[in-house]
Amino acid sequence: MSDSRAQNAPHATPHIYDAGAEGLPTFEASGGDWSEIAEEAARLGEERIIVNMGPQHPSTHGVLRLMLEIDGETVTEARAGIGYLHTGIEKNMEFRTWVQGVTYCTRMDYVAPLFQEAAYCLAVEKLLGVTDDVPERATVIRVLLMELNRVSSHLVCLATGGNELGATTIMTIGFTAREEILKVLELITGLRMNHAFIRPGGVAQDIPPGALDTVREALVGVRRYLGQLQDLMLANPIFKARQVDVGHLSLSACMALGITGPVLRSTGLPYDVRKAAPYCGYETYDFEVPTATESDAYSRVVLRIEECYQSMRIVEQTLERLQAMGPGPVMVADKKIAWPAQLAIGSDGMGNSLDHIREIMGTSMEALIHHFKLVTEGFRVPAGQVFQTVEHPRGELGVHLVSDGGTRPYRAHFRDPSFNNLQAVSMLCEGGQIADVVVAVASLDPVLGGVDR
């Protein structure tokens, strides 16, 4: 059923057409809701029921509507309805400066916000031609934050996936482990989520004193919790019975639908943007891309756990590099681009310190004017377009930016992995049990903020 047609003709009734030689009637929804079709099918004696799962169902990781046609307990047709969480982020970015765009795109996939920030800023830096000017310390900090965020994102997937099957302990352990990482992200960026910390040209500020030791301590706790999750999930016969051979999706199906991330790697293809098209110096880090060949929901659980360990392996390497290089700049030197990155907080815990205010107001009137224009008007980006990809926890995240030479994006479009991955809902669910729909959708790990954006 077309959503637009349903909206334009809310009182229309379903029409019945003869299917031809088989003599089986088919139903076309030209408006109204699925209930009308179900009623018509019941009147004709069809053993067919259409039910809605969502859009408020907690097992759908957000506001997702699944329209399921069932025959007994078997799903014969599954369709996904999206758009309930639409925020208009991409359009809004056209009316804000390039720096302000970070605060928008970070809110798309709210479970993994730092990846949107990184992809967007890398694209802006390409347009500006300052990719090689970004300080190494800022790049390492970006990698540190992204890999911590990858672990926290996978923990949400594992925790909610367990909870949806009734395993509350998996959820509590998963979210407890995630809390350890969110505390670190809050220490470094000031916020638990939606950080807007990665900026065009670098990052907002350097990491605070003692942050490296805090990260090391947090990793110890996260490893302990991951071990508990492995015991509860991978060695649990009930959990395995619900996951093994459920939500099967082959390599050819993934390629046809443009599906990436752990779902693709569960088919045996080791595609990872960090290896295939390195960014932020990922080619200099030692890590592996785990794969499986079972192509089912259980293999995706195993892969996400292994990816958590690989991410922590990268985090440990970033800690060593940051320790070795010591304090340094975290923003490009070009003052026509560089957002003020060394802001000190006032004695009341809010605002800027008096020393910082004296510096920007006392240096010269020109400096004050430049600061004002940079913050309010923003910098200009040369006309052109660029496409940048990063390896998001859910797959390949791409950003396409178009500049007309002004201080705002002419167009900003994101290729969100959850959006593409949701195409597989019908292939994962049709022919299976209705109880397995929850498992299949959870194995995709969709976040609807990124889908609808």
Radius of gyration of the chain (CA): 25
Q: Of the CATH numbers 3.30.300.30, 2.60.40.420, 1.20.1280.50, 1.10.645.10, which one belongs to the domain with range 89-337+379-452?
A: 1.10.645.10
What tens digit of pLDDT does each residue of 416-447 get? 999 999 999 889 988 888 888 889 988 998 88
CB 195 within 8 A of CB 117: yes
Structural domain boundaries in the chain: 89-337+379-452
What's the pLDDT tens digit per position in 46-62?
Answer: 566 888 887 765 545 56
| Residue 377 backbone phi and psi in degrees, to 5 | -90, -35
Residues 6+ apart with CB under 8 A from 298: 240, 243, 244, 245, 246
Backbone φ/ψ region at 439: left (φ over 0), alpha (ψ -120 to 50), beta = alpha
Task: Single out the residue of 446, 441, 412 nearest to residue 425, CA to CA.
Answer: 441
The predicted pLDDT at position 430 comes to: 86
Look at 77-81, 145-149, 185-189 and tell me which has the smallest mean pLDDT: 77-81
Q: How many CB atoms are closer than 10 A to CB 372? A: 11
Report residue 224 CA to chain centroid gap: 25
Tokens of 272: 């990872």
- Residue with the bigger pLDDT between 89 and 61: it is 89
Residue 319 near residue 141 (C-beta atoms within 8 A)? no
Higher pLDDT, 25 or 95: 95
Asked if the model's pLDDT at residue 333 lies above 90, the reply is no
E-only strand ranges, 234-310: none
Residue 344 has what DSSP assignment? P
Q: What does the pLDDT read at residue 74? A: 85
185-234 confidence digits (pLDDT tens): 999 998 899 998 999 999 988 899 899 999 999 999 999 999 999 998 99
